[in-house]
Structure 1
Amino acid sequence: MKLTLATHPILAAWMLSLTATAANDSDSPTLPLSTDSAFNFQLLITLGDAITGGADIGPVLGAAKNIIPGDFSSFSEQFYALANDTKAQAADPENAYDGINVRETWFSASQYFRRADILLHNDWDNPLLTSLWAEQTAAFDAAIAALPIPGQRVRFPATKGSFTIDAIWYAASASPDAKLPTLVIGNGFDAAQEDSYHYFVASALARGWNCITYEGPGQPTIRREQELGFIPDWENVVTPVVDYVLSEKANVVDENRLALVGNSFGGYLAARAVAFESRISAAVLVDGVWDLYAGYSAQLTPDIRAIYEAGNYSQFDQELLSLRAAGKLSSDAAWGVDYGLWAFNTHSPSDFFDQTKKYQLESVVSQINVPVFVGSAQFENIFPGQPQQVKDALGDKATLYLFNGTAGYHCQTAAGQEMTRAVFAWLNKTL
């Protein structure tokens, strides 16, 4: 039987699991910035970074006013224009009279270039995927060069696997022997390590923590430069980062206060890594992820899921990709299809689902032997209930923290102050 939107309307929304979306207007704890939930969430991400100099509120709202809901090109074009305007301001010699001017303008330009990129992954050959990323990287590098202690971009090979890790080191002190607590920070499905600066690094530096952010296979820079999709054995990404920190930065790192942070899908990746990496002192999962396949496949109707689980992969792939090509998916679903296939480096939705089955914590959770902060969000729509599963499996080793109300979106988007207050209070108590 041929499946259609008429017979299976939930098919158009099943990929909601692949993106953090806003709640329905009636349930939303915040004023929606777009009638399109996917666009609303991206705008919340952008505004949330304003507290760390990564955006300016008025210009973002101005762009939002001119974005056509559901029109990916419109979203990209508005942020591309804003990025270029902000870049011109950053490049103006009069802007460079102090470091604050320089870094905030370049941080904002970098952010806007990233937003211009985020919805363009349907066409892997789109030259903007390369050019926008080069722009965001250059802008970000100009910003971190203007920090009181400049950030240092570093690359080093993985010890297992043929890939190179891209990382950025941030020192909290200029002292050559400060011995400070240190965060190792990783994102997940779609966010870049440049986003990690605004999510965690700025708050950590203000509290006297060194930081290193990193990207591995599947994440934005590595996916582009090395054409590698995600890998489940994430310890092969994190362990080389820890090696680097404890060797190259040994004089300024307190090895007894080395915490690993995983954001979004990174909540699984970090948990997996700490099961194998004994030098980590504590782990922070924002939010907790137990089983990737369970989270993603739960968005399917029983009939659609049965087609996949019966092994009818061609039918499954053809129907979904046909709906995407015809423009019959919601923005959430369309973006989820586009970005999921790109990040996992496959053109087959069924292959993507096959890959997600390799990302489950149950088989390794007993090997986690450090304190763990498990974030949970009131409006979590990707992995509802999974933070509790992580907490239950870890028992007394884990602290479950529920973020409610306006901090209740996936990963506390646009409530960064509340999120980092909770995380650093726990780290201070734990370490």
Structure 2
Amino acid sequence: MSLLSSPHEAFSSGFYRDPTLDFAVRGLLGHAPSGATEPGEVLATIATVPDGDWTAWHAAWLDLGARLLDEASALHEAGRLESASGLYLRASRYLAEAVDSAPDDTRADVFRRHRLAWDGFIDTTLYSAQRVSIPYEADSLPGYVIRPGDDDEPRPTIILVNGSDGSHSAMWGDAAHGALVRGYTVLIFDGPGQQSMLFERGTAFRPDWEKVVTPVVDFLLARPDVDAAKLAIYGISQGGYWVPRALAFETRLAAAIADPGVTDVSASWLPRLPAPLRALFEAGKKDAFDRDMQIGMRFGAATARTWAFRARPYRQESYFDTLNEVSRYALGDLAASIRTPLFITSPEGEQFWPGQSAALAEALPGERVLQEFTAAEGADLHCQPLARTLTQQRMFDWLDVALDL
């Protein structure tokens, strides 16, 4: 076996030089405690993928996910439900990685296979799981209510709000599994612009997330198996903006978690622009901005890929219009209206919204906890990817107290 220099330093030096691939590996490994990934599968897979090779990255996760999905289906048919369940879950998580890196012409099919694996998990899990359709304006939001057991007793319930690109299988590792083992019922759903609402229905994100959360709360409070006094909400990544935004208007939630806190989504976009481009945008010079952005994208394949991935859910026609839309995702003075107790994670080395967790905590008039996470704990970077067990321990311990459990 040939060893790289100091391979034991991967935590601090990185699994890849490409920061996006490195962060993805950390997220995959961090979901292992929930059963959503297997460390050996992850490490064996990345060993075949050169740094920065997105074509190889996509092919590797697609191949692994497809193989596990086939194995899960065979075991399911044979009645080996527990084994099938674990394979379906891991297949779903790996195929989610393939969705994120899929070419435009195959993304819909890869997403279909990813969701097929997730639904296989739902059909075979030992937890009590139910597909639901949540009334939403003239449409509906697809989701899943998952309960710790088969009884109909009212339970504390937590709404799980994903970020800009998170899958259900990722949310399983981030919060759902940890909630279920502690006795919570969980609701996982696709909001506008998320997952099936994007890839199958073509809907866009919206900044006024209270228009999403209020119908979800209405739906849950109509269920006899939900304890109305112990209803909470959790938001990860960009969900750390959507949840506080909703709390400024929706007052029926007993407690909330923002992982991390986000006050202005555009702060992860605008500072990355070269100064001349930012000046054009801030001056409102749409044609010049779009022209120069288009030229720049021709010379930066990685930048073009990242832009396309991040911009897709906003469903805007131009570079300028996309940034204009993203700029609407800011809390502003609304934070002062929030009265719901809020737990806010604040990881060392936050890449996307540094300082915003503390800013949110400072702006809140009511009960809040700002929980620091550090590299020394193995818990740095956005959403503490390699410390999801520690994150869930801290946030659910707080939530248990907040809900008087």
The residue number in structure 1 matching 2:147 is 171
> Relative to 1, partners in 2 of residues 1:305 and 1:312: Cα closer, same or farther, differing over 3 Å?
same
The residue number in structure 2 matching 1:137 is 115
1:182-213 per-residue CA deviation (whole Å, 9 max, x = no partner) reads: 10010111112332122111111100000001
**Shift of residue 389 of structure 1?**
0.8
What letter matches 1:269 in structure 2? W
The residue number in structure 2 matching 1:299 is 272
The residue number in structure 1 matching 2:58 is 76
1:208 and 1:29 map into 2 onto residues whose CA distance is 33
Alignment partner of 1:201 is 2:176:
yes
Asked if structure 1 preserves the Cα contact closer than 8 Å seen for 2:76 and 2:84, the reply is no
What letter matches 2:165 in structure 1? D
Which 4+ residue blocks in structure 1 deviate beyond 6 angstroms? none
Instruction: Name stretches of at least 5 consecutive residues in structure 2 with no aligned partner.
Output: 1-6
Pick from 280, 292, 295 the counterpart of residue 319 of structure 1. Answer: 292
**Shift of residue 95 of structure 1?**
8.6
> Relative to 1, partners in 2 of residues 1:403 and 1:294: Cα closer, same or farther, differing over 3 Å?
same
1:319 and 1:116 map into 2 onto residues whose CA distance is 31
* RCO higher in structure (CA 8 A, sep ≥6): 1
The residue number in structure 2 matching 1:410 is 382
The residue number in structure 2 matching 1:387 is 357
What TM-score do the two structures reach when normalised by structure 2?
Answer: 0.92
> Relative to 1, partners in 2 of residues 1:38 and 1:350: Cα closer, same or farther, differing over 3 Å?
same
**Shift of residue 343 of structure 1?**
1.1
The residue number in structure 2 matching 1:365 is 335
What letter matches 2:339 in structure 1? N
Matches within 5 A, 1:93-242: 93=75, 96=78, 98-120=80-102, 123=104, 126=105, 128-159=106-137, 162-176=138-152, 178-242=153-217
**Shift of residue 35 of structure 1?**
2.3
**Residue 109 of structure 1: SS of its match in structure 2?**
helix
**Shift of residue 417 of structure 1?**
0.2
Alignment partner of 1:350 is 2:326:
no
What letter matches 1:156 in structure 2? I
Corresponding residue pairs, total: 394
1:295 and 1:80 map into 2 onto residues whose CA distance is 29
2:293 and 2:332 map into 1 onto residues whose CA distance is 30
The residue number in structure 2 matching 1:280 is 253
Matches within 5 A, 1:4-19: none
> Relative to 1, partners in 2 of residues 1:146 and 1:388: Cα closer, same or farther, differing over 3 Å?
same
1:335 and 1:401 map into 2 onto residues whose CA distance is 33
**Residue 234 of structure 2: SS of its match in structure 1?**
strand
**Residue 35 of structure 1: SS of its match in structure 2?**
coil
> Relative to 1, partners in 2 of residues 1:420 and 1:137: Cα closer, same or farther, differing over 3 Å?
same
What letter matches 2:392 in structure 1? T
**Shift of residue 80 of structure 1?**
0.9
1:221-277 per-residue CA deviation (whole Å, 9 max, x = no partner) reads: 101122111111111111111111111x2x222111111111100000011111111
What letter matches 1:148 in structure 2? L
1:63-98 per-residue CA deviation (whole Å, 9 max, x = no partner) reads: 211112222211111111111221222123489554
The residue number in structure 2 matching 1:50 is 32
What TM-score do the two structures reach when normalised by structure 1?
Answer: 0.87
The residue number in structure 2 matching 1:15 is none
1:325 and 1:343 map into 2 onto residues whose CA distance is 22
The residue number in structure 1 matching 2:48 is 66
2:328 and 2:262 map into 1 onto residues whose CA distance is 13
The residue number in structure 1 matching 2:392 is 420
**Shift of residue 298 of structure 1?**
2.2
